[in-house]
Structure 1
Amino acid sequence: MKRRIGTVASVTAAFAAGIVVGPMVAAWAQEGGRAETYRLLNLFGDVFERVRAEYVEPINDRDAIENAINGMLAGLDPHSSYLNQRSYRDMQVQTRGEFGGLGIEVTQEGGYIKVISPIDETPASRAGVKAGDLITHLNGKSVQGLTLQEAVEQMRGERGTSIRITIRREGADRPIELSLTREVIRPQVVRFRVEGGDIGYIRVTSFNEQTDVGLRRAIQTIRQQAGNNLKGLILDLRNNPGGLLDQAVQVSDEFLDQGEIVSTRARRPEDAQRWNAKAGDVAQGLPMVVLINGGSASASEIVAGALQDHRRAIILGVKSFGKGSVQTVMPIPGQGAIRLTTARYYTPSGRSIQGTGIEPDIEVLAQRQEATANIPREREADLRRALRNEGGVQQPAGAAIPPLQLPPGVAERVTRLPPEGAPALDLTKPETDFQLQQGLSLLRNMSAAQAQSPSRRAAR
């Protein structure tokens, strides 16, 4: 692979420098016997030179080459792409799960930067930044005209460095000036709480390098808060777009004692890989419900598929996104990186969920209108050039792995549709979250049924 990447980089450098590559390509063709391939590379060089010479305005060589590379990769499938140096750095920051900054989640509104939420125990939260604040100036300069990415880059920086921000807050008479010192920020990808004193709720929003550590910390804290009253766990993977494969494996391993977690199959059979669980279940066998929806993709589907195949958890919600491919990021020294689809992944039972998704054991809709909506949510199978589903165990359309053996009557108590007039879904308000409420009810009914079973009564 290193030799192949080196060749691509050499050709690119020659084009970008404006060198006529015809003689070089011809020599390679004679040496390697791949005349057609190098004839096409020569064609690319000819087109590039004509664009440089004849386009109505001067072009930037780097932009032209990067666009050509990205076009080649994007033409393969929806998930392969070229990352220039800045995009590559941003991706590394996201996967590390920590960066130097202020500790605020932001979006853009009316040309200003709007605070979605300050992160607890960060410079922004300690300085009193609030959700809904509009950041109008950075170091005295207006943010008008900046893209969201440019503004974020200015707010990030080395730990210990300072930045002045100007805030416009609803109800305030005048702008608020704050001087903040950047710290190492670790976005909270794992959020948790105890519901009703007896059910642990854990929401995982993405899979970066901090996810597994955050999960273990969440379970430890939940046990301390609930004590002996803990009856079960809910793992919420809704709207989780995925992330690092190794983190999906580790999170799955936390709840499994043995057996396969996931396997991948690449172009060459010798590159196939398989991951198996190690002994130890951090939940100590507590009943589990995993919540999924159409926004659960990739790494979150690996976790849901592993726990479903091993009958370790009940999957509740609606069908997941269906991204069953693995992307490898290959750095190109000094030139960013390429993100290339290199394998398909398969659940422990051998299923490929590419284009099909994970079918829940118990389907529960989040909102009543989903039952009659004419426009379905876009999924992997709807994307242009999506990979085919192949190589996995075949199963009838819509068929799910048989669920856990639930006590008689428990599954029947789960309501599939929210009642008429139910409040609009707001994930920050548990009382409006119908899927969550059904998961809580399911776990409590399971616990009550198990407590009344003959074997349990005899053991007392």
Structure 2
Amino acid sequence: MVFVTALATGAVTESWGGVTEGDAPPPSPAPLRAGVQEFAAGTGPGEEPHDAEELVSRSGDRWSAAYTADEYQGVKRSLDGEYVGVGVSVRRADGDRTEVARVLPGSPADEAGVRPGDLLLTVDGSGTGGRPVTEVVAMLRGGPPGGGSGPGSRVVLGLGRDGRQWEEGLRRERLKVDTVTTTSLAPDTVLVTVDSFTKGTGEQVRRAVEGLPPDRGILLDLRGNPGGLVAEAAGTASAFLDGGLVATYGDGDAQRALYAEAGGNTASPLVVLVDGGTMSAAELLAGALQDRGRAVVVGTRTFGKGSVQVPQEQPDGSVAELTVGRYTTPGGRTFEEEGLVPDLEVRAGRSAEEEARTVLSGLGTRS
């Protein structure tokens, strides 16, 4: 498996969605996501370092991550769209604050009345202001399986809404989510939201957009998407392209290429929404569609995680995810540190979705 993901000591999104708790990406390139992994990598108090941790420590690479064998099982479950959390996805808001991007229906957060747009002020008493989204996700997940953060463990969220502040004590549960949500915004506009790239994401997107009439516009929302599996990002690109290059990346001495499959929807107008929580494989996808002239990208500058990791099992069963190279878009761009600059940058206080719909109307759909 190859990951183009953002890491953080936790997972990408508490629900893999937004970055979600499915929260935000783990401290390492674990496959996300506001939203799908809630565990932290590394050793806990009193634990002996394992082979993967020593290897990652020697690498000096901030994107590499170390997992015990049990922790890596959690990573693989996340790749299947399953995680332990409370069901929220988070993103960076104005003023260096963190806000809830999405809430998984039927999740502990949903049942407690947490809503999109609520400010996430604290997690177990620790402030979230100024912290990377990935770190907040790690806080939401609480630690590796067996370390007090599994199903039934408790986490207290400090929340704010309309000037009011309060705390909610929630119990983490094992949750399963679809990474793709399709919403009809108007007779001629469909919104396809991709929370992260787990197994089957590309096929879900293809089913959502195939057969749409040419005059029906598509908004592809990658805001808060922490990344995930490279192959699924390429599969998602296949939904909008008729073959051709998606990206290249180094793997040791070799240079590898990712190609879209033929037969995608190339007729419907397409606008891609991005923000500072758009990371890794999501940046790869947005950059490919932008370079190929298939989509107009709207939003704010993306996170800037442009490297690729591969998992390597160690003799003691632990797993090190090590960076093998940076990916490059069809136009020869890389996004490490700098991020992707949208075609249309949305100013603070403006609605990115409304501006995207305006752009879409100019591409041939009334929206």
Q: Which residue matches 1:300?
A: 282
Q: Provide the C-alpha distance between the structure 2 equivalents of 1:356 and 1:164, rounded to a whole number of angstroms.
A: 38
Change (3 A) 1:155 1:261: same
Judged with a 3 Å threshold, the aligned counterparts in structure 2 of structure 1 residues 156 and 280 are, in CA distance, closer, same or farther, namely: farther
Give the match for residue 363 of structure 2. 446
Which residue of 2 is the match for residue 346 of structure 1? 328
Distance 1:234 1:116 in 2: 17
8 Å Cα contact 1:118/1:129 also seen in 2: no
What is the CA distance between 1:250 and its match in structure 2?
0.4
State the AA in 2 paired with 1:194. S
* 2:344 pairs with 1:363: yes
Q: 1:209 aligned to 183, 193, 199, which one?
A: 199
* Structure 1 Cα separation of the partners of residues 260 and 142 of structure 2: 42
What do the CA deviations read for 1:292-350 (whole angstroms, capped 9, x no partner)?
22322210111111111211111122332222211001122543200100122111133
1:251 aligns with 2:233: no
Q: 1:266 to 1:206 in 2, by over 3 A?
A: same
Partner residue, 2:164: none
Cα deviation for residue 97 of structure 1 reads 1.1
Measured in 1, the distance between the counterparts of 2:224 and 2:142 equals 26
Residue among 161, 168, 178 paired with 1:188:
178
**After superposition, where does 1:169-248 map in structure 2 within 5 Å?**
185-219=175-209, 223=212, 231-248=216-233
Q: What SS does the aligned partner of 1:131 have?
A: coil
Match of 2:75 among 59, 81, 91: 91
Please say if residues 248 and 300 of structure 1, whose CA atoms lie closer than 8 Å, have aligned partners that are also in contact. yes
2: distance between equivalents of 1:358 and 1:116? 21
Listed one character per residue, the Cα deviations across residues 410-432 of structure 1 (whole Å, up to 9, x for unaligned) are: xxxxxxxxxxxxxx5xxxxxxxx
The alpha carbon displacement at 1:215 in A equals 1.9
Letter in 2 for 1:307: L
1:146-173 superposed Cα distances (whole Å, 9 cap, x missing partner) = x85469957867xxxxx799x9xxxxxx
* CA 1:352–1:277: 2 relative to 1, 3 Å: same
SS in 2 for 1:243: strand
- The two structures have a TM-score, normalised by structure 1, of 0.51
- Does the Cα contact within 8 Å between 2:56 and 2:322 map onto a contact in 1? no
Q: CA RMSD in A?
A: 4.2
Which residue of structure 2 aligns with residue 71 of structure 1?
57
8 Å contact from structure 2 (residues 202, 236) kept in 1 = yes
When residues 218 and 103 of structure 1 are mapped into structure 2, their CA distance, relative to the original with a 3 A threshold, is: farther
Measured in 1, the distance between the counterparts of 2:66 and 2:85 equals 29
Which letter does structure 1 place at the counterpart of 2:258? W
Flag the structure with larger Rg. Answer: 1
User: Which letter does structure 2 place at the counterpart of 1:79?
Assistant: W
Alpha-carbon distance in structure 2 between the residues aligned to 1:123 and 1:295: 22
Aligned to 1:278: 261
Q: Structure with the greater relative contact order (CA < 8 A, sep ≥ 6): 1 or 2?
A: 2
Aligned to 2:114: 131
Q: CA deviation at 1:87?
A: 2.9
Distance 1:149 1:196, change over 3 A: closer
Task: Give the corresponding residue for 2:104.
Answer: 119
- For structure 1, the 5+ residue unaligned runs are 1-58, 108-114, 133-142, 158-162, 168-179, 368-423, 425-432, 450-460
State the AA in 2 paired with 1:247: E
User: 1:9-42, CA deviations, whole angstroms, 9 ceiling, x for partnerless residues?
Assistant: xxxxxxxxxxxxxxxxxxxxxxxxxxxxxxxxxx
Matched position secondary structure for 1:82: strand
- Of 254, 270, 273, which aligns to 1:288? 270
State the TM-score, normalizing by the size of structure 2: 0.63
Question: Deviations for 1:195-231, whole angstroms, at most 9, x for unmatched residues?
Answer: 23321111212111142233234436x95xxxx6953
Identity of aligned residues (%): 26
Q: 1:241 to 1:447 in 2, by over 3 A?
A: same
Aligned match of 1:174: none
- Output one character per residue of 1:381-415: Cα deviation in whole Å (capped at 9) or x when no partner: xxxxxxxxxxxxxxxxxxxxxxxxxxxxxxxxxxx
Which structure 2 residue ranges, 5 or more long, are not aligned?
1-44, 91-99, 116-123, 126-138, 157-171
CA distance in 2, matches of 1:298, 1:338: 18
Single out whichever of 299-308 and 62-71 deviates more from structure 2: 62-71
**Which secondary structure state, in structure 2, belongs to the residue aligned with residue 92 of structure 1?**
helix
| Number of residue equivalences | 282
**Displacement of 1:61 after TM fit?**
7.2
**Secondary structure at 2:227's aligned position in 1?**
coil
Change (3 A) 1:232 1:331: same
CA contact (8 A) 1:118 1:124 kept: no
The change in CA–CA distance for 1:202 and 1:441 in structure 2 (over 3 A counts) is: same
- Report how far residue 102 of structure 1 moved: 8.9
1:158-169 alignment to 2 at 5 Å? none
